[in-house]
Structure 1
């Protein structure tokens, strides 16, 4: 685009008549000191946020969207950063204020919600006192009045039993409830502008839906403006009036959300919108389909290719799980007596065939990751049977377990935590091969180079370290390491959840290609329903440690039967701006606790057959 975005902004202002913007940003440029020199991270960004409006800043990691919000709030270290341009709040330039004056602005006129509430809340102070503190700092009220107001705000954000929970600490709240506390704290002083920086990225899909609804409702009630930062185009469509797209520190497109979705001009805008197709796009397709990949430079998309049928159900399942039960004891008191148990997995059974992807879906705490760790014997279940490629996993000793793990490998959510930062890529990828004593070091390095090339990386990166790569590249390295032992099964535990949308699409396509060429079976663990719909042959929905519905992907997605399955699917944000005015019912409910008293045994479950291979748990 030849036109500067800054030149477009005045035209956007005219649509609201004479009403001045709450926030007006002009030619914002933020630089960081790198190696003694100033490097521009955000360049010439301009936008307005009008009264009562939600403006979304969208882009992937490294695009500069979060740096933009931190620049607006003046939260960057002044010794290492330099902010230029204008940031006008009600006509006052925030960049000219002293730090003391900015303290009166932050949390009072402008509030901010961050992505991870646990790092934003003080772990040794009750949540009620933290909200009250914000009130007493910015208002001339007594401690008693602040407590009363804090309880009122907690009730407003749908915290149940707000009076009793006032004195509880952050660790006693779930992720969704902690985010509600952050919203309560941000709204305590009735700010003119709320900046929400990826406030739902770390949340389960149903909790995400509740938080998005809550922000909509509170915005209407309080009449505030919202600057919403995200990389999820489904969220953008549901919450924003206008949207600006950032790429490599620059604004590349700006306009009304509906217009951008219908006729976005910049290739990067089109790439973001098409990176993860909406739920329901797989209707009438039985087999997995690759994600469309759009070139961000040209806007041209590779056609979405359907994967050939690699599943061989005529043979014995490569993985068979029967009546798997996993409980974790809870102890307490002076003598450490057993006081209860977390019923993480209860009587779970399923088969996984060679070349098949079975997805386990559900919210945090439902037991899906515990199943993945159990079939690897990273944890030892209380009871049940696990048969893997001829091994009776529950009966294996230490040496046999090592041998068994040649047949099954695991890819975790955070690739950086999965790689030793002190080991080169070559050492990390070849380590499993050498530990299993499958060949000499030279042979291992040759195989590692070939696998790195196969996952889209150059074989000459063996001498480099994990911190030198992006998140998507690190995940490819982890996948290459998992392939070193030629496994028949790979457990992918939220393997793409932490990745940006376009990188997520690329990694999912890589997994589908590997399955197509190598016949690998995937136990795909995720809470991202749109991704699950794209990559799965079969789907098992989990709730409180139990499978409540299981069947072919098409059957489960096109004809969901269990209330929890329906709830999961209805909570997924849809990239359709027409849903902007839609509101779901905002309830304070979250997934129930799996903690049970000593001696508790769950009732025996029965299942109803819906169609061939499709079963649903009876209530």
Structure 2
């Protein structure tokens, strides 16, 4: 018996009007989605995958876009429906969830009101019936204490819980098809694993089909029955996910798969190994080159951090009195040697970014010591600190937000040289050209503005600017997490090459465990502001001792469709709050040595910490 597809897309093309000309960004894309089937639309930024999804829903700008082809759902061509009928289809027969839930939720309405609104509009329920159904939906997506939380506003939820709210809203009208556009990209690895498991479970229970849009091939292997690979606005390869992973035919597909970091691939490699360089015509990787040991073990560490503590007061009430404190960083200690990479890993809210900013004194710590080449940074005045910051530079997650949009990139790179009196303006121009070459860009790009570059190129510019003052230490705060998989590989390789050539020390802050395994010499795992495990990379990945470290590693998506049916042992708990009462005294933490340099907190099974509400 032949089953009809839930959705049939034939020769879909989308063009946008740019400067009075039509520019086609999606060209003749065709695919089908069967009942209860998950189809992944995969490709890098700019490949056309999100525009394809918006075109299916007819959500592109009416006056400046043109959609042709056919999109058949339930025997009707969605592209030919009147606007009123299409509005009824959206949310009722097709639902969509986006990458950033906070931009999809109204911040001034409770989440219960927003979900109930869809039920009243599409299913004709009364307000009381809609509220009861909202509680059932929130229970279904595993939001604890759903009855009380329907009256909460979006800002009261974590990123993972907000995405669950969006899924509950999408499920409200029992759609035939769920379109998920990069729904896990902005989430931590453990939360991503929970959301993927939730979507799979709900799909089985509700019997809906899923169109899953992503650039992460590990996620594709976890969730998709079939895969459509997009490149340059075209579908270049379509097939079962198992076939595409086992026998990729198109060079671009092979390139995507080759660039995926695989957990465990570094076993037997004592030092960081760059990603293999990919031949863009064949998509095949060259053998990776192992970087020689660059760590200066005999010398004093570049950075020595002892008992670093950073807290933020929470104020409330009419008089703005302190009501509690965020214990963001609590007695953190580590050192970092020349030519070494120490990775700080953990979920959002664990304190790793605050640690990096506290080391730089971009945030003022409460106590502790930070020695840079033996000098206590904490004891310096403002002027001396500004001078010492030449030795330590920071690369942030979002390169566009780090660059002045009104300043050419050449001026942005030259500025620290001129301000620190390291070069005249003429010399700074010459050094800027040299730095652009060093990070793989052309010197003639110096006259362009940040918006004229891709995300990967902008991050290279930020690296060039950080290198301008010849630092000893670079704090890289999620510096590759926002990049596509192949661009991420290129930027990581660049950082490793620069480290080998300039003996740089990196404090590499990340939640991407597969990338951390490839780039780091040592790893420190943070949870609720504390380091719970620290040691050589091979020990942390090969012999994890703390339950939280094991949880992080178990949540990493495996790019192997054969393991798709395996159930992950995942907790649906959110990261506990680091907010404590004013009189809270942190317990003394003890560590045991598992092997040389490998320390784990023995208070793994400590009683729950007291928590106060933020309000």
Q: Same fold (TM over 0.5)?
A: yes
Residue 525 of structure 1: aligned partner: 509
Deviations 1:420-457 (A, max 9, x none): 00000111001111111112101111111101001000
Deviations 1:190-229 (A, max 9, x none): 0000000000000000000000000000000000000000
How far did 1:18 drift? 0.8
- Partners of 2:596 and 2:570 in 1: how far apart? 36
Within a 5 Å distance, the mapping from 1:376-395 to structure 2 comes to: 376-395=360-379
Deviations 1:347-366 (A, max 9, x none): 00000000000000000010
Equivalent residue in structure 2 for 1:350, among 322, 334, 338? 334
- Partners of 2:64 and 2:236 in 1: how far apart? 26
Residue 449 of structure 2: aligned partner: 465
Residue 281 of structure 1: aligned partner: 265
User: Runs of 5+ in structure 2 lacking a partner?
Assistant: 604-615
Equivalent residue in structure 2 for 1:374, among 340, 349, 358? 358
Equivalent residue in structure 2 for 1:595, among 570, 573, 579? 579
Equivalent residue in structure 1 for 2:406, among 422, 425, 432? 422
1:185 equivalenced with 2:169 (yes/no): yes
- Partners of 2:77 and 2:340 in 1: how far apart? 58
Residue 167 of structure 1: aligned partner: 151
1:248 equivalenced with 2:227 (yes/no): no
Q: Is the 1:293–1:502 Cα contact (8 Å) retained in structure 2?
A: no
How far did 1:266 drift? 0.6
1:328 equivalenced with 2:312 (yes/no): yes
Residue 538 of structure 2: aligned partner: 554
Q: Is the 1:214–1:586 Cα contact (8 Å) retained in structure 2?
A: no
Alignment: residue pair count? 603
1:113 equivalenced with 2:117 (yes/no): no
- Partners of 2:551 and 2:147 in 1: how far apart? 29
Residue 153 of structure 1: aligned partner: 137
Residue 38 of structure 1: aligned partner: 22
Equivalent residue in structure 2 for 1:399, among 372, 383, 386? 383
Q: Is the 1:389–1:407 Cα contact (8 Å) retained in structure 2?
A: no
- Partners of 2:303 and 2:447 in 1: how far apart? 36
Equivalent residue in structure 2 for 1:583, among 557, 567, 572? 567
TM-score (normalizing by structure 2): 0.97
Q: Is the 1:210–1:586 Cα contact (8 Å) retained in structure 2?
A: yes
Residue 253 of structure 2: aligned partner: 269
1:61 equivalenced with 2:35 (yes/no): no
TM-score (normalizing by structure 1): 0.97
Q: Is the 1:605–1:618 Cα contact (8 Å) retained in structure 2?
A: yes
**Partner SS for 2:491:** helix
Deviations 1:478-532 (A, max 9, x none): 0000000000000000000000000000000000000011100000000000000
Q: Is the 1:117–1:179 Cα contact (8 Å) retained in structure 2?
A: yes
**Partner SS for 1:434:** helix
Equivalent residue in structure 1 for 2:59, among 75, 78, 86? 75
**Partner SS for 2:447:** coil
- Partners of 2:566 and 2:514 in 1: how far apart? 20
Equivalent residue in structure 2 for 1:139, among 123, 137, 145? 123
Deviations 1:247-288 (A, max 9, x none): 010011000000000010111101111102310101121100
Residue 447 of structure 1: aligned partner: 431
Q: Is the 1:330–1:340 Cα contact (8 Å) retained in structure 2?
A: yes
1:198 equivalenced with 2:212 (yes/no): no
**Partner SS for 1:324:** strand
Deviations 1:128-150 (A, max 9, x none): 01000000010121110000000
How far did 1:585 drift? 4.4
- Partners of 2:569 and 2:378 in 1: how far apart? 45
1:413 equivalenced with 2:400 (yes/no): no
Residue 91 of structure 1: aligned partner: 75
What value does the CA root-mean-square deviation take over the aligned residues? 0.8
* More displaced stretch, 556-565 vs 292-301: 292-301
How far did 1:586 drift? 5.3
1:509 equivalenced with 2:493 (yes/no): yes
- Partners of 2:433 and 2:353 in 1: how far apart? 30
How far did 1:108 drift? 0.3
Q: Is the 1:32–1:38 Cα contact (8 Å) retained in structure 2?
A: yes
Residue 556 of structure 2: aligned partner: 572
Q: Is the 2:254–2:284 Cα contact (8 Å) retained in structure 1?
A: no
User: Runs of 5+ in structure 1 lacking a partner?
Assistant: 1-16
Equivalent residue in structure 2 for 1:213, among 171, 186, 197? 197
**Partner SS for 1:530:** helix
Q: Is the 2:218–2:260 Cα contact (8 Å) retained in structure 1?
A: no
1:236 equivalenced with 2:220 (yes/no): yes
- Partners of 2:201 and 2:294 in 1: how far apart? 47
Q: Is the 2:551–2:570 Cα contact (8 Å) retained in structure 1?
A: no
- Partners of 2:564 and 2:209 in 1: how far apart? 15
- Partners of 1:439 and 1:204 in 2: how far apart? 42
